[in-house]
A and B are shown apart, each in its own frame.
Chain A
Amino acid sequence: MQILELSRQTVEDFLFLEAELIDSQRFEEWHALFTPDGRYFVPLTDNEDTVHQAAIVNDDPLRLEERVYHLARVPFPSQSPRSRTLHLVTNVRIRPSGEGPGNTMTVVSNQLIVEMRVGDFRQVGLGEQRSFAAEVEHQLQPQGDALKIAMKTVRLLNRGGPVSNLTFLL
């Protein structure tokens, strides 16, 4: 597969597949979409510095494995009951080649992530729909016949503001 030959439709299909895996809580299959050195990054600040800034998520491959293990295998209070999510993926743009490293394609989409926790809907924090708007950047690489994520960056619209419980996948 040549990265430069990919159509927007192919790329969109990939983003839709990724969204479906998250929304249907197939977390380990989602993890398998990443390259072995793939990273997942949700910055808190506009400058996206990680030397002097803390991020919301700053996962290298081992931390990403830990996140997926935590989410899929270890029940924890802020996901008991769990979040349902629904990703709306739109405004997909393929950045000109040369912007990403090597055989990598940079794809930017706008996403509206709607989240709601199930359980006793009369209780605080459950049954409430929250929405998160974000610009999402994927660095994609071909591996055999498949596309893989080398890096996923989620730039939340409300980064830096008061935000609680982002313990689901964005």
Chain B
Amino acid sequence: MASSKSPIQGVGSGGDPQELVLRGPHTFRVHTRAYSDPAIFDLEMERIFGRTWVYVGHESEIPQPGNYKTAHIGLQPVIVARDDKGGINVFYNRCRHRGSVVCREPRGFANNFRCPYHGWIYGKDGRLLGVSMRDGYPSDFQQPEGLQKVPCVDSYRGLIFARAVAEGPSLVEQLGLAATWIDRRVNMSPVGEIELVAEPYVVEYRGNWKFMIENIIDEYHFAFVHEPFNKLQERYGDSTGDYGAHVSGSAKDMNQRRQAGRLSWGGVGGHGLGERRVSDEQLDSLLAGEDGDYYQGLLEKYRREELARMVGGGSVMTHPNVGMIHRQIRVVRPLAVDRTEVTIYPYELKGAPEADNQGWLRSQERFYGPAGYGMPDDVEMFALNQQGLAAQAVDWLILERGLDREQVTENGDRFAPVGGETPLRALWVEWLKLMSRAD
């Protein structure tokens, strides 16, 4: 980056991602084009979604041989399927013959996948079982082996990821500190497992995908975008089914409780993590409450301090596009530079009290659905952002909140008091690293 450049001057038009993030001791700015340039979007599909572990589903969605679900790695459609040996394969949803998709349902059971165009048949493991009217092909016909496989598939705590290239770090390496946060969510189940039972909410917005990623771990916006929701919390608290997901009480109490026991983390690898802890009093009241047996059971397995974090329920946004927030897995799917799909999968904790799982379902209904009091306001904002970016005379977006209050751990993970933009900056540092790798 040219040192003569001040943050308020423009960048070259060379398309070098390095020019799109300005970093200095007191500076962290991202260029408009990082959110609005179709060429940058294409590069993201190639260098980020084309090279990293991308979430494609949860094991509980495909429990038995023959169960499948469809997903995407970047823009590429894939099928995630369980074979007869119980193994999980991920292959491109594209007939090797002339390109038609072979699976038209989002999830289900199939003994095989039959291409609707010319009837080629593939097995549960993607292997080509039969070419229709085979005698019409030359005797030396080079028959494909099957649906093209995505080379790398791995799971972490039931979350299935796939990577479109063979070479790269392991899934656990990529997850880094985020793995701890995933553990905290999943360990809330007495048997350490979550289950995706409910159908997901699917929301589209006309804005760049990174606005949603950033927002998940942006605590700064809550008092503004969700000021109307806070008014409901003041008036109704838990009585309409929040189930303790959000703080309630007077505006002053809510403000105080949003700071207490909370830190914002930016993990190496671009992960945004919100650390939350319930207070001793809150934990004691849960241990003595209606579901006391459940919480006592957890206390036998985890230290009290860890349990306070688990119950606090901080958010995790793993790079590049899957998060766990409250009792949901959230997948952010880029459709175009200015169009994004968000899928919200509520999950249940296996073995947890029925009332607890249902309580959380009601809570997510109230905030995250298309008629809820949270998500529609968030995605409204992303469309507003994207429109505002049309004023390209303004070069930079400012991500400097809390820059002078960050601390760094031995591993390079950063944390700061809640409300700083540390998690957002971590995303951009990883973005720069991946986008700059030409090979």
Give A residues with C-beta under 8 Å from B.
42, 44-45, 50-58, 62-63, 66, 69-70, 74-78, 123-125, 160-167
Q: Other than the known A70-B232, A163-B370, what 17 A-B pairs have Cβ atoms closer than 8 Å? A: A44-B369, A53-B198, A53-B199, A54-B361, A54-B365, A55-B365, A55-B369, A63-B240, A63-B366, A66-B240, A70-B373, A75-B228, A124-B386, A125-B206, A161-B202, A165-B379, A165-B380
Least distance between A135 CB and chain B CB atoms (Å): 17
Which chain B residues numbered 223 to 262 have a C-beta less than 8 Å away from chain A?
Answer: 225, 228-229, 231-232, 235-236, 239-241
Least distance between A85 CB and chain B CB atoms (Å): 13
**Binary flags per residue of B350-376, CB closer than 8 Å to A gives 1, else 0:** 000000001001101110011101001
Task: Please indicate the chain B residues that have their CB under 8 angstroms from the CB of A44 in the complex.
Answer: 199, 201, 369
Task: Please indicate the chain A residues that have their CB under 8 angstroms from the CB of B387 in the complex.
Answer: 123-124
Task: Please indicate the chain B residues that have their CB under 8 angstroms from the CB of A165 in the complex.
Answer: 370, 376, 379-380
Task: Please indicate the chain A residues that have their CB under 8 angstroms from the CB of B197 in the complex.
Answer: 52-53
Q: Is the CB of A164 within 8 A of B198?
A: no
Task: Please indicate the chain A residues that have their CB under 8 angstroms from the CB of B376 in the complex.
Answer: 77-78, 164-167
Cα of A63 to Cα of B241 in the assembled complex, Å: 8
Q: Is the CB of A77 within 8 A of B370?
A: no
Cα of A74 to Cα of B230 in the assembled complex, Å: 10
User: Which residue of chain A is the closest to B357 with respect to CB atoms?
Assistant: A52
Of the candidates A54, A55, A56, A125, the one whose C-beta lies within 8 Å of that of B380 is A125
Q: Is the CB of A77 within 8 A of B369?
A: no
Q: Is the CB of B202 within 8 A of A163?
A: yes
**B59 touches A (CB below 8 Å):** no
Cα of A123 to Cα of B386 in the assembled complex, Å: 11
**B381 touches A (CB below 8 Å):** yes
Cα of A54 to Cα of B344 in the assembled complex, Å: 11
Task: Please indicate the chain A residues that have their CB under 8 angstroms from the CB of B179 in the complex.
Answer: none
Q: Is the CB of B386 within 8 A of A76?
A: no
Q: A52-B197, A55-B365, A62-B239 are in contact. Are A77 and B381 (CB under 8 A)?
A: yes
Q: A62-B240, A66-B240 are in contact. Are A74 and B228 (CB under 8 A)?
A: yes
Cα of A45 to Cα of B376 in the assembled complex, Å: 20
User: Which residue of chain B is the closest to A55 with respect to CB atoms?
Assistant: B365
Least distance between A61 CB and chain B CB atoms (Å): 10
Q: Is the CB of A164 within 8 A of B232?
A: no
Cα of A165 to Cα of B365 in the assembled complex, Å: 14
Cα of A144 to Cα of B261 in the assembled complex, Å: 55
Of the candidates B361, B364, B379, the one whose C-beta lies within 8 Å of that of A164 is B379
**B383 touches A (CB below 8 Å):** yes
Task: Please indicate the chain A residues that have their CB under 8 angstroms from the CB of B348 in the complex.
Answer: 52
**B129 touches A (CB below 8 Å):** no
Of the candidates B364, B371, B373, B377, the one whose C-beta lies within 8 Å of that of A166 is B371
**B346 touches A (CB below 8 Å):** yes
**B203 touches A (CB below 8 Å):** yes
